Homo-oligomer: A and B are copies of this chain.
Amino acid sequence: MSTAAPHATGQDHLWSVDEHLEDILATVRPLEPIELNLLDAQGCVLVDDITVPVSLPPFDNSSMDGYAVRVADVAGASEEFPAVLDVIGDVAAGQAGLLQVGPGQAARIMTGAPLPPGAEAVVPVEWTDGGLGEGPVAGMRARSLAPEAADGQVRVYRPCAARAHVRAKGSDVQAGDRALDAGTILGPPQIALLAAIGRGTVRVRPRPRVVVMSTGSELVQPDEELAGGQIYDSNSFALTAAARDAGAIAYRVGAVADDAETLRTAIEDQLVRADLMVTTGGVSVGAYDVVKEALAHVADEDEPGSGVEFRKLAMQPGKPQGFGSIGPDHTPLLALPGNPVSSYVSFELFVRPAIRTLMGLTDVHRPTTRATLTADKPLTSPKGRRQFLRGRYADGTVTPVGGAGSHLVAALARADALIVVPEDAESVAPGTDVEVVLLG
Chain A interfacial positions (CB closer than 8 Å to B)? 11-12, 38-39, 42, 52, 54, 56-59, 63, 65, 90, 92-97, 108, 110-114, 125-126, 138-146, 149-150, 167, 171-173, 177, 179-180, 187-201, 216-219, 221-224, 226-242, 244-245, 252, 258, 260, 284-290, 292-293, 338-340, 344, 405-413, 415, 439
Of the candidates A94, A240, A339, the one having the most CB atoms from chain B within 10 angstroms of its own CB is: A94
Chain B residue at minimal CB-CB distance from A95: B229
- Pair A96/B228 contact, Cβ less than 8 Å: yes
Assembly of this chain: how many copies? 2
- Pair A190/B289 contact, Cβ less than 8 Å: no
Knowing A94-B229, A226-B58, A407-B172, say if A192 contacts B235 (CB, 8 Å).
yes
> Complex Cα distance A197/B12, Å?
37
Query: What B residues does A231 contact at CB under 8 A?
Result: 56-58, 112, 196
> Complex Cα distance A20/B255, Å?
51
Distance in angstroms from A42 CB to nearest chain B CB is 5
Query: What B residues does A190 contact at CB under 8 A?
Result: 413
> Complex Cα distance A180/B413, Å?
8
Q: Would you give 24 A-B contacts (Cβ < 8 Å), ordered by A?
A: A38-B237, A59-B229, A63-B405, A92-B218, A92-B258, A93-B288, A95-B229, A108-B287, A111-B338, A114-B228, A114-B229, A179-B413, A187-B245, A189-B238, A189-B412, A189-B415, A189-B439, A191-B237, A192-B409, A195-B237, A196-B231, A196-B340, A198-B224, A198-B226
Residue in B201, B230, B287 whose CB lies within 8 Å of A143: B287
> Complex Cα distance A187/B42, Å?
21
Residue in B112, B193, B235, B290 whose CB lies within 8 Å of A338: B112
> Complex Cα distance A156/B38, Å?
64
> Complex Cα distance A153/B392, Å?
47
Residue in B111, B221, B286 whose CB lies within 8 Å of A139: B286
> Complex Cα distance A238/B408, Å?
42
- Pair A232/B195 contact, Cβ less than 8 Å: yes
Query: What B residues does A415 contact at CB under 8 A?
Result: 189
Knowing A192-B237, A237-B192, say if A285 contacts B65 (CB, 8 Å).
yes
> Complex Cα distance A408/B12, Å?
61
Of the candidates A188, A258, A339, A407, the one having the most CB atoms from chain B within 10 angstroms of its own CB is: A188
Query: What B residues does A57 contact at CB under 8 A?
Result: 231, 407
Q: Apart from A12-B138, A191-B237, what are 20 other A-B pairs with CB-CB below 8 Å?
A: A54-B226, A57-B231, A57-B407, A65-B286, A93-B258, A94-B216, A96-B227, A96-B228, A97-B229, A110-B286, A111-B338, A142-B288, A143-B288, A172-B405, A187-B241, A189-B439, A192-B237, A192-B409, A198-B223, A201-B223
Residue in B125, B219, B226, B244 whose CB lies within 8 Å of A285: B125
- Pair B189/A407 contact, Cβ less than 8 Å: no
Chain B residue at minimal CB-CB distance from A217: B94
Distance in angstroms from A347 CB to nearest chain B CB is 8
Distance in angstroms from A2 CB to nearest chain B CB is 26
